Amino acid sequence: MAALGAAAIAAVGGAGLGWRLAPGSTDIPTRLVLATVPTGPPVYVLPACAIAPQPAFRPLPPTPADSGTPPAQQTAGRVPPGFAPVRAVRCTDSWDTGAFTVTSSQTSTAADLQAVLAALKPPLIPEPAGPVLACPAIGVVPPAIALVDAQGTAVRVDLPRDLCGLYADASLRTLDTAHWTVTATTKAPLPS
C-alpha cells in the first residue's frame, strides 16, 4: 500500500479512474505514456504580467472584429507552427499577509530558450496499467510562460500534464534549469 503514495479518492480536473503511484514504485504494473499538452488554438497575449491572484499575462486589446471579450487569462494554447521565439517571459506570484507580489522575469539566451522549449515537450511518465486511478486533491499554480518572437508577438504556453491534470515533474525541473532575470516586481493588496 505504501506504493500508492499520497493519493486521494477525489478526482481532479475530470481525470478518469485509476491508481497514481509514488515515484519509483514497483508494486503495481505501469506503462510509460506521453504527458498531455495543450491542443487548443494559440493564445496571444501582451508579454507583460497582469496583476492577478494567479500568474497571468495582460490580454491583447480587442479588435473591432472581436466580440470585445479578451481570451481567458488562465488558459494557454499550443505554440503556432513556425513560431520562432527569441525570448521567454515568466510570471510568478507569492502571497503574504494582506498582499500578493507578481514577479516578471525573462530569458533570451539560446541555451535557456532551449530549456524552455524542452520543458514544453511531453515527457514519458509512468501511469498505472490497470483501470483504477485515484488522483490527489491538490492544486498547483505553475508560472505563466509566454514565448515572444522577434516582432514582439507573444503566445502563452502551458506545460505538459499527467492523467490527473498535474504538471509533469520532468517539465517543471527542465523549466527550472533556465536562467531567469527579474525585470519587474509589483505588490498589490489581496482582493477583498
In angstroms, the CA 104 to CA 90 distance is 6
Tens digits of residue pLDDT in 132-166:
567 788 877 777 899 999 999 999 998 888 888 88
Per-residue pLDDT at 133: 66
Per-residue pLDDT at 17: 35
Say which residues have a Cβ less than 8 Å from residue 115's Cβ, sequence separation at least 6.
Answer: 174, 175, 177, 178
Per-residue pLDDT at 63: 55
Q: Which amino acid is at 86?
A: V
> Looking at the DSSP assignment, which residues form a beta bridge with residue 19?
none
Contact of 136 with 8, CB cutoff 8 Å: yes
Residue 98 C-alpha cell reads as 494582506
What torsion, rounded to 10 degrees, do the Cα atoms 87, 51, 172, 151 define?
-20
Say which residues have a Cβ less than 8 Å from residue 36's Cβ, sequence separation at least 6.
Answer: 122, 160, 161, 162, 163
Contact of 181 with 87, CB cutoff 8 Å: no
Tens digits of residue pLDDT in 173-191:
899 899 999 999 988 887 6
pTM for this entry: 0.72
Per-residue pLDDT at 24: 53
Distances 39 to 45, 75, 118, 160 between C-alpha atoms, Å: 17, 11, 17, 11
Per-residue pLDDT at 43: 85
Residues belonging to the chain: 192
- φ/ψ of 109, rounded to 5, equals -75, 155
Per-residue pLDDT at 33: 83
CA angle 169–54–186, rounded 5-degree value: 115
User: What's the average pLDDT block by block, 10 residues per block, for the chain (192 residues)?
Assistant: 32 36 59 82 86 74 51 66 93 82 92 93 80 73 88 90 84 91 87 68
